[in-house]
Amino acid sequence: MGYNLEYNSDQVLESSPLPMARKNQVPMQGRILDSVVSSLPAEQKGTQDQRLYNEVLDAILDRRLSPGIKLKEDELADIFSVSRTVVRRALLRLSHDHIVDIQPNRGATIIRPDAHKAREILRARRLIEGAVVQEATVAATPESLDALRRCVEDERDQVRRQHKGTGLRLSGDFHIRLASLAQNDTLMGYLKELVPQTSLIIAIYQTPHHTQCSHQEHFDIIDVMATGVTRQARAVMDKHLQNIEDKLDLSGKRSPGDLYAAFAHVKAVEN
């Protein structure tokens, strides 16, 4: 699954190019587009949207695609054997998550947050998630903690299989599930904005010699939550987020990739 974001992908432009932002118009992110509904059945549409969204996001988080590369509708439609309407819906979701930027006459490109923006987002995460884990600890039940453990087990299994992009996406899902447990819609809203951007920042800036092992820290957070000690839960969460920042090199640069090379495994399966 992808990040648990409430986003209506049914309303899309079916025959025009990627939506164009007029001067002084509301930004693309978060704006419901005036459009027609696709003729695909809802269950098929959701499956195609989700697969493409996950594949593109995983390729970015796995460093097979780099910031600045253009995500071309026709190439993605060809690679995944879907309509361009499905591609547009997936790109709009990625735009809503601040993973890609959609510009008039230029299409969608992968965003590269600068070092200042990266530090700003991580600082916001540390402020917000202290309150999240505190409220989640108070609200936690044995059943809800077991559900969190299963989420982290999925993350761990993907990392062990060397599926780094999927593992990083599931790592973000853990934090969103934690916010859901806290039952605070305002904090949830903030995290839904920040978690996908953090995953992108980690994919771009994490130094190569650091391994992806956040799942163990996630297990540690759950264990502390089970004790009911909110102060300790806040301290463990703060340390976890600081560890993430410590692994980043905010001066590093990488070269853009190629769409067909990034998704070579898709064509290999089809052939």
Contact indicator for 18, 24 with CB cutoff of 8 Å: no
In the prediction, which pLDDT does 133 show?
Answer: 97
Q: CA geometry: angle at 209 spanning 204 and 215, to 5°?
A: 75
Query: Residue 129, Cβ neighbours under 10 Å: how many?
Result: 26
Q: What is the dihedral of CA 199, 205, 206, 209, to 10 degrees?
A: 160
Is residue 118 within a helix (H) or strand (E), and if so which, with residue range? Answer: helix 115-139
Structural domains of the chain, with CATH? 11-112+253-270 (1.10.10.10), 115-246 (1.20.120.530)
In the prediction, which pLDDT does 159 show?
Answer: 87
Q: What is the pLDDT along the chain (271 residues), one digit of tens a residue?
A: 555 444 343 433 333 344 433 433 433 333 322 232 233 334 344 588 888 998 999 899 888 898 899 999 999 999 999 999 999 999 999 999 999 999 888 889 999 999 999 999 999 999 999 999 999 999 999 999 999 999 999 999 998 898 888 888 899 999 999 999 999 999 999 999 899 999 899 888 887 665 556 899 999 999 999 999 999 999 999 999 999 999 898 875 544 455 665 566 676 666 6
| Tokens 């005036």, located at residue | 34
**pTM for the structure as a whole:** 0.69
Nearest CA to 155 out of 170, 144, 165, 145 is that of 170
What are the two backbone dihedrals, phi and then psi, of residue 6, each rounded to the nearest 5 degrees?
Answer: -80, 105
Contact indicator for 182, 74 with CB cutoff of 8 Å: no
Three-state SS at 231: helix
Show the tokens assigned to 186: 């305002």
In the prediction, which pLDDT does 2 show?
Answer: 56
Contact indicator for 218, 166 with CB cutoff of 8 Å: no
In the prediction, which pLDDT does 49 show?
Answer: 86
Nearest CA to 241 out of 153, 125, 155, 152 is that of 125
Contact indicator for 3, 175 with CB cutoff of 8 Å: no
In the prediction, which pLDDT does 257 show?
Answer: 52
